[in-house]
């Protein structure tokens, strides 16, 4: 890529910004770095432009590289929620594709600036990760790379067992205690409207004592934070630092995880509109249109093995726009039983664009799918569920379900809590001997046994004392409890 | 401008951590060695020492859900109908290596591994870690002559002038010091006196005692050589220990040896050579192709040229024996003759006799691999069993024949398909522990 190409991308940048704003998109400052393939694959594998070393990033790098070398996947773009937003585009892609990617990135930029779920995240993660990387290197020197690796292994095993909403209301254990029992608020009344508030019952001393000893004061899903704060193992400062970095990065990526379908759908929806304008304004040539069509089709390609979030999200936004333009929602529409009438239903509301902007501000995938996924979209995209069927020598992937209601139900179930099992910390001083008692909030889906055991080993390593996990059996659905101590893992029913 | 092309340092961080990951999946690679080593891409690879190995990465364990019925599956999109099979997957544990090309989107990857590293892993897996040089037979080679030491007596031509002058300077300076102490005069005066005395310390002392030394000052560079200063070189033979091995690769190339059989033989030779290279400083390989007649050929011809006609294995053994006598005497070479055939032979008796003659030369170990198709007749292995003291053994489910200790350095294996390759290599390398195979004649 030469300076002429770079200049052209600079021009495209200006145009995309202008067109985007005309469409009503609202951007943070945006910067693009054009990088070679190897760097791009690294950023994808390491999640951030510079991050600490870990074998799992190395593994992901090889996976990405293999996929790239075999042409299964063309890395398009990575964009970070920083200010200015920073995006990486691949040097070797043709210029039309890079411009497509830039338009796509600007829509992500709008999403990150305006979606409620991105508001609490820190915007200095790129620098922060790079600083963590050098601290970790120093730890490796001082404490040995095996020690550091062991700790990162353990931290990453529960990196998603955090509370993403914690950022909105950070609270210490004592603050939680106070909130729970309103000790401070039970101070003498001082006029105002106090007489309107029912009188608070002062907790009994025994109750108070019990609460003071109780840890955590109320069940928490932030297992990683609880371990950092309360592990009896006495984590040293550098160990706490590693766990905290892993947790902070997970918190940073949580909004991406919670809005994957929406975010990609939103970006695809708008890059198409912006690109069409760039062709209309003759900034892009007719031959480039061919490239664009080809790549855009790949972005939105059907995938028989998994749901393409670009395709599903795009289809949903299209559908919402159409429905709110024509007024196909609300009690009148729902009550209508005539298929013909429904087919031609048009109330000329033209509120489509307004609606999708509202949805992008408030929703995340779980509720987005629950609220807007309908038969029309499922049938259009021909979504289905497949299952692995054992054929002795191999497994057949067989289509099991094409009914839209079932598909929607299972999809929503899978997106529940963003696919992360809710593991609650119930007691950090179980049996009054610093044992950790965890409970899996069973919502119909059991835990994978192998993964559960291996993860518990990590939790036990971090905690340093025996750990319990109460869940439901895959086989019977009945309650079971895992118990791990220095001698290994046991499982008992009940 | 918002679009930049930063100048990144291209230190391959991904590769470094990938190496760590690879370290952790060594077990997985080891489990798949039988598959990996029979991968044609490795054997036909040219030049570089990096091979690509398809593997599945280590899982990152975390709490995850299962579907309530325990079945695995997922969502897809695109035109289909219920009951339709949209793909297939190998069962875990079955075909563990997999192929990167078959399952896009899966956690398959190709990892790059150094051939040397792979060989090391195989050797470790085969139970031969760290084969050291001294464990194999070494031969003493005359390299030339070298200086051994210096002595005070010797013949004129070996006088070491530099060392002699050095000794003289040392001695002269010592005398001047002594004179200066005894006469209490300056070093300059002592040097002048010694100069005037022609190097004789007694006379110099007399001159000094007689009064101030007049005349020109002593030449600071004057050196007086005494016979005690002379140094002569002695020399000895310079020798080096070499460990050389030669593989005499013999193969039946008659019509009955098909592509697959040749491929197996070729794979075997490839790995055998690779292993021996880690053990010996120098490994040579000579190719002998035979039908009814044997001839020395190059590698390409050996593996690619097929001929028709009959089979007389003795011709190959005779040629090998001749080569040993002429070029690879067993006093200086560890000779490893290998022979691959499909077991057909026109004159079994003669072949056995020729084999015995070759074994008498003191070869390190003779390996015979019989590549059997489903219905082939294996006249040769049976004949060997009758005539040569071989005993039947089984190693990890793979049966083979081994010559009795001290009588016949021979191993025989029967290879039926690709997966027999690894156990066969194991037999050839591992029997050394019990006194056979590779390390039979050590030290």
Q: What is the CATH number of the domain that holds B326?
A: 3.40.50.410
* Residue A435 · residue A404 · CB < 8 Å: no
Contact flag B77-A56 (C-beta cutoff 8 Å):
no
Q: Are residues A88 and A33 in the same domain?
A: yes
* φ, ψ of residue A488 in degrees (nearest 5): 125, -165
Tell me, what's the pLDDT at B63? 93
Q: State whether B202 and B290 are in the same domain.
A: no
Given B185, B207, B234, the domain boundary residue is: B234
| 3 state DSSP class of A129 | helix
User: A89 and A58 in one domain?
Assistant: yes
Alpha carbon distance B205, B182 (integer Å):
8
Q: Is residue A378 domain-shared with residue A289, that is, in the same domain?
A: no
Residue B357 backbone dihedrals phi, psi, to 5 degrees: -65, -40
d(CA B402, CA A169): 76
Residues A277 and A320 in one domain: no
Round to whole Å and give the CA distance between A259 and A256.
5
Selecting from A32, A58, A383 the residue whose C-beta is nearest the C-beta of B17 gives A58
Give me the pLDDT at residue B10, please: 52
Give how far B258 is from chain A: nearest CA, Å: 29
Q: Is B4 on the interface with A (CB under 8 A)?
A: yes
* φ/ψ of residue A353, rounded to 5: -65, -45
Final residue belonging to a domain, choices A416, A442, A475:
A416
Q: How many CA atoms lie within 13 A of B437 on its CB side?
A: 21
Q: Are residues A381 and A340 in the same domain?
A: yes
| For residues A466-481, average pLDDT | 90
Scan residues 40-79 of B and list those with Cβ closer than 8 Å to A: 57-68, 70-79
- State residue B134's pLDDT score: 38
Length of chain B: 443
Exposed / middle / buried, residue A330 (Cβ in 10 Å: 0-12, 13-18, 19+): exposed
Which chain A positions have a beta carbon within 8 Å of B67's beta carbon?
445
From the CA of A483, how many Å to the nearest CA of chain B?
Answer: 15
Supply A227's token pair.
Answer: 């371990």
Is residue A290 a part of any domain in this protein? yes
Range of the domain at B417: 244-439
- Minimal Cα distance from A98: which residue of B? B3
Domain total in chain B:
3
Average pLDDT, chain A: 89
Identify the pLDDT of residue A197: 57
Percent of chain A whose pLDDT exceeds 90: 64
The pLDDT of residue A281 is above 60: yes
Q: Is residue A126 part of a domain?
A: no
A189 found inside a domain? no
Lowest average pLDDT, out of A7-16, A105-114, A169-178, goes to A169-178
Residue with the larger pLDDT of the pair A447 and A63 = A447
| Least confident window among A96-110, A346-360, A443-457, B37-51 | B37-51
B300 plus B156 within the same structural domain:
no
Of A303, A325, A313, A323, nearest to A270 (Cα)?
A: A313
**Of B76, B83, B89, Cβ closest to residue A304:** B76
**For the ranges A16-20, A151-155, B161-165, B308-312, which has the lowest average pLDDT?**
B308-312
Q: Does A458 touch chain B (CB under 8 A)?
A: yes
| C-alpha closest to that of B213 among B177, B180, B181 | B180
| Co-location of B421 and B338 in the same domain | yes
Closest by CA position to B113, among listed B45, B162, B196: B45
Check whether A181 has a pLDDT greater than 90. Answer: no
Residue B361, CA atoms < 13 Å, CB-side half-sphere? 28
Residues of B in contact with A224 (CB under 8 A): none
The answer to the question of residue B338 being in a domain is: yes
- Which residues in B lie closer than 8 A to residue A158 (C-beta atoms)? 62-63
pLDDT means per 10 residues in chain B (443 residues)? 66 75 74 71 60 74 80 80 78 40 48 76 62 50 75 86 89 87 83 82 83 65 80 81 82 80 81 77 86 87 77 92 92 87 86 91 87 70 82 81 76 83 79 43 33
Chain centre distance of CA A190: 46
Tell me how far apart the alpha carbons of residues A56 and A46 are, in angstroms, rounded to a whole number. 9
Contacts of B19 in chain A (CB under 8 A): 58
The tens digit of pLDDT for each residue in A352-383 reads 999 999 999 999 999 999 999 999 999 999 99
Residue B383, H or E segment: helix B379-387
pLDDT at B203: 85
- In the block, tokens 């210490």 appear at A172
Give residue B435's pLDDT.
41
For B:9-28, CB contacts with A below 8 A are: 10, 12-24
- Closest partner residue to B109 (CB to CB) among A55, A66, A156 is A66
- Domain count across chain A: 2
Position A251 scores a pLDDT of 94
Residues of B in contact with A33 (CB under 8 A): 4-6
The CA distance from B90 to B107, in Å, is 13
Q: Nearest Cβ partner of B65 from A65, A72, A421?
A: A421
B228 and B324 part of one domain: no
Looking at the domain assignment, is residue A213 inside a domain? no
Contact B76 A61 (CB under 8 A): no
Query: Does residue B346 share a domain with residue B230?
Result: no
User: Same domain, yes or no, for B172 and B106?
Assistant: no
In a domain? residue B137: no
Q: Measure the CA–CA gap between B86 and B76, rounded to whole angstroms.
A: 9
pLDDT at B433: 43
Which domain range does residue A351 map to? 309-416
Q: Determine, yes or no, domain membership for A331.
A: yes
CA-CA distance, A108 to A28, in Å (whole number)?
10
CA separation (Å) from B188 to B165, B182, B183, B274? 21, 14, 12, 71
* A360 and A294 in a common domain: no
Name the nearest CA neighbour of B160 among B237, B224, B234, B238. B234
Asked whether the beta carbons of B275 and B284 are under 8 A apart, the reply is: no
**B182 Cβ contact list (under 8 Å, min separation 6):** B205
- Co-location of B115 and B174 in the same domain: no
Whether A111 and A18 map to the same domain: the answer is yes
| Least confident residue range of A214-218, A292-296, B7-11 | B7-11
Q: Which of A17-31, A40-54, B303-317 has the lowest mean pLDDT?
A: B303-317
Region for residue B93 given its phi and psi (left: phi exceeds 0; alpha: psi -120 to 50; beta: otherwise): left
A161 contact B CB<8A? yes
Given A267, A299, A331, which residue is the final one in a domain? A299
pTM confidence score: 0.69
């Amino acid at each position: 890529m030469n300076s002429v190409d770079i200049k052209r991308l600079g021009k495209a940048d200006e145009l995309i910004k202008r067109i985007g704003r005309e469409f009503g998109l609202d951007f943070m400052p945006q910067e693009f770095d054009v990088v070679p393939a190897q760097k791009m694959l690294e950023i994808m594998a390491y999640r951030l432009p510079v991050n600490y070393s870990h074998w799992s990033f190395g593994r992901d790098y090889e996976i990405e590289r293999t996929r790239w070398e075999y042409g299964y996947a063309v890395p398009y773009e990575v964009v970070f929620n920083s200010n200015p937003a920073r995006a990486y585009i691949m040097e070797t892609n043709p210029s039309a594709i890079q411009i497509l990617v830039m338009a796509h990135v600007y829509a992500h930029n709008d999403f990150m600036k305006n979606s409620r779920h991105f508001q609490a995240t820190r915007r200095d993660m790129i620098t922060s990760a790079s600083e963590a990387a050098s601290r970790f290197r120093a730890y490796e020197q001082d404490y040995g790379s095996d020690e550091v690796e062991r700790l990162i292994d353990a931290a990453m095993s529960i990196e998603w067992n955090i509370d993403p909403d914690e950022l909105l209301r950070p609270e210490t254990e004592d603050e939680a205690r106070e909130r729970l029992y309103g000790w401070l608020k039970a101070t003498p009344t001082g006029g105002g409207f106090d007489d309107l508030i029912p009188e608070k019952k002062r907790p009994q001393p025994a109750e108070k004592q019990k609460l003071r000893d109780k840890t955590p004061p109320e069940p928490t899903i932030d297992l990683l934070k609880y371990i950092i704060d309360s592990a009896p193992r006495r984590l040293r400062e550098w160990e706490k630092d590693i766990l905290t970095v892993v947790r902070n990065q997970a918190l940073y990526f949580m909004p991406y995880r919670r809005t994957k379908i929406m975010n990609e759908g939103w970006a695809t929806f708008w890059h198409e509109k912006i690109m069409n304008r760039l062709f209309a304004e003759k900034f892009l040539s007719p031959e480039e249109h061919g490239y664009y069509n080809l790549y855009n089709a790949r972005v939105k390609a059907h995938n028989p093995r998994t749901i393409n979030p670009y395709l599903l999200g795009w289809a949903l936004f299209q559908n919402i726009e159409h429905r709110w333009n024509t007024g196909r929602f609300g009690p009148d529409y729902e009550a209508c039983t005539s298929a013909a009438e429904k087919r031609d239903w048009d109330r000329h509301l033209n509120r489509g664009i307004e609606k999708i902007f509202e949805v992008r501000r408030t929703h995340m995938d779980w509720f987005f799918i629950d609220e807007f996924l309908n038969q029309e979209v499922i049938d259009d995209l021909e979504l289905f569920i497949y299952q692995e069927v054992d054929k002795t020598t191999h497994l057949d992937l067989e289509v099991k379900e094409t009914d839209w209601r079932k598909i929607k139900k299972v999809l929503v179930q899978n997106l529940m809590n963003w696919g992360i099992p809710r593991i609650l910390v119930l007691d950090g001083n179980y049996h009054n001997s610093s044992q950790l008692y965890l409970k899996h909030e069973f919502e119909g889906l059991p835990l994978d046994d192998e993964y559960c055991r291996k993860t518990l080993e990590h939790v036990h390593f971090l905690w340093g004392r025996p750990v319990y996990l109460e869940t439901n059996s895959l086989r019977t659905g009945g309650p079971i409890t895992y118990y791990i101590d220095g001698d290994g893992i046991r499982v008992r029913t009940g | 401008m918002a679009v930049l092309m930063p100048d990144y340092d291209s230190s391959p961080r991904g590769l470094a951590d990938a190496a760590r990951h690879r370290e952790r999946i060594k077990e997985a690679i080891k489990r798949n060695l039988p598959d990996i080593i029979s991968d044609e891409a490795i054997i036909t690879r040219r030049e570089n020492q990096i091979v690509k190995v398809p593997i599945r990465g280590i899982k990152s364990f975390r709490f995850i859900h299962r579907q309530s019925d325990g079945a695995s599956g997922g969502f897809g999109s695109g035109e289909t109908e219920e009951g339709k099979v949209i793909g297939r997957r190998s069962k875990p544990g079955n075909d563990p290596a997999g192929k990167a090309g078959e399952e896009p989107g899966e956690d398959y990857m190709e990892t790059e591994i150094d051939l040397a590293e792979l060989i090391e892993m195989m050797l470790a897996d085969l139970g031969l870690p760290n084969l050291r040089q001294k464990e194999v037979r070494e031969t003493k080679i005359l390299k030339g002559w070298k200086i051994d030491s210096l002595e005070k007596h010797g013949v004129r031509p070996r006088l070491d002038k530099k060392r002699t002058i050095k000794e003289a300077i040392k001695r002269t300076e010592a005398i001047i010091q002594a004179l200066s102490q005894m006469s209490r005069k300056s070093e300059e005066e002592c040097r002048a006196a010694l100069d005037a005395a022609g190097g004789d310390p007694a006379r110099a002392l007399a001159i000094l005692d007689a009064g101030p030394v007049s005349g020109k000052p002593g030449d600071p560079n004057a050196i007086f050589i005494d016979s005690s200063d002379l140094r002569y070189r002695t020399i000895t033979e310079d020798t080096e220990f070499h460990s050389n091995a030669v593989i005499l690769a013999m193969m039946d190339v008659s019509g009955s040896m098909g592509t697959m059989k040749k491929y197996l033989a070729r794979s075997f030779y490839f790995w055998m050579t690779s292993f021996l290279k880690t053990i010996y400083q120098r490994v040579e390989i000579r190719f002998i192709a035979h039908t009814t007649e044997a001839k020395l050929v190059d590698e390409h011809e050996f593996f690619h040229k097929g001929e028709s006609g009959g089979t007389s294995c003795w011709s190959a053994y005779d040629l090998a024996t001749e080569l040993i006598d002429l070029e690879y005497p067993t006093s200086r070479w560890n000779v490893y003759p290998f022979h691959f055939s499909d077991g057909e032979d026109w004159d079994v008796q003669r072949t056995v006799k020729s084999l015995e003659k070759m074994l008498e030369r003191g070869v390190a170990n003779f390996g015979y691999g019989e590549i059997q198709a489903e219905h082939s007749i294996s006249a040769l292995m049976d004949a060997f069993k009758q005539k040569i003291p071989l005993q039947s053994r089984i190693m990890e489910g793979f049966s083979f024949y081994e010559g009795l200790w001290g009588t016949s350095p021979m191993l025989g294996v029967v290879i039926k398909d690709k997966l027999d390759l690894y156990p066969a290599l194991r037999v050839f390398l591992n029997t050394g522990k019990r006194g056979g195979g590779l390390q039979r004649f050590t030290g």
